[in-house]
């Protein structure tokens, strides 16, 4: 073989060895991608929790507005069925006026906590005579916080007051 052919073969071998990545470079690149992916997943779940909590607060505000309108017309708050508002909407006693077409539920599908009270200074629930309901508890369970409480129920951590 001639010297030129040997040098040509050597240069081809060197070119082949210089192309591509080493195993260590590939492992480092995969580790960086995994870290970035983990950070994205972690932040998106926090964003989802915040969005659900914002929806819950908005829902309670809508319900509160309807309850205040009901109170303005009737001088008392509507009765409760268990721990939620009765029915699927809030309507006047005679059914002619609708204050809220559809009572929203928590993004997880659970009903919000509602409990009408005789007054703010007593824990008497006005279940026998709805005309005495002068106060209420309206509560939700937020994901993004562990502080706060609903005075009428320990399982909820966010409360809207009627006044």
Give residue-wise pLDDT tens across range 7-57.
Answer: 666 666 555 555 678 889 889 999 999 988 888 887 778 888 889 999 999
Closest CA to 88 of 104, 76, 72: 104
Q: Whole-angstrom distance between the N-terminal and C-terminal Cα of the chain?
A: 100
pTM over 0.75: no
- Tens of pLDDT along 111-161? 888 888 887 776 677 766 667 788 888 999 888 776 677 877 778 888 887
Beta strand 84-85 with 90-91 is: unpaired
Domain limits for position 94: 3-160
Q: What is the DSSP string of 13-25?
A: HHHHHHSS--HHH
> Do residues 111 and 155 touch, judged by C-beta distance below 8 A?
no
What is the count of structural domains for the chain? 1
Q: What is d(CA 69, CA 93) in angstroms, rounded to the nearest whole number?
A: 13
Which residue shows structure tokens 């932040």?
A: 43
Per-residue tokens: 96: 């002619």
Q: SS3 for 102-113, per residue?
A: CCCCCCCCCCCE
């Amino acid at each position: 073989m001639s010297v030129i052919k040997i040098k040509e073969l050597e240069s081809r071998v060197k070119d082949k060895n210089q192309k591509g990545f080493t195993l260590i470079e590939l492992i480092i690149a995969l580790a960086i991608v995994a870290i970035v992916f983990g950070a994205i997943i972690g932040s998106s779940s926090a964003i989802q929790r915040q969005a659900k909590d914002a929806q819950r607060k908005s829902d309670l505000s809508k319900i509160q507005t309807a309850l205040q309108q009901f109170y303005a017309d009737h001088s008392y708050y509507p009765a409760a069925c268990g721990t939620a508002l009765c029915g699927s909407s809030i309507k006047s006693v005679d059914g002619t006026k609708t204050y809220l077409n559809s009572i929203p539920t928590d993004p997880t599908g659970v009903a919000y906590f509602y409990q009408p009270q005789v007054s703010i200074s007593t824990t008497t629930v006005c279940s026998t005579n709805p005309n005495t309901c002068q106060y209420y508890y309206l509560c939700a369970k937020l994901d993004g916080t562990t502080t706060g409480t609903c005075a009428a129920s320990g399982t909820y951590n966010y409360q809207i007051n009627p006044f």
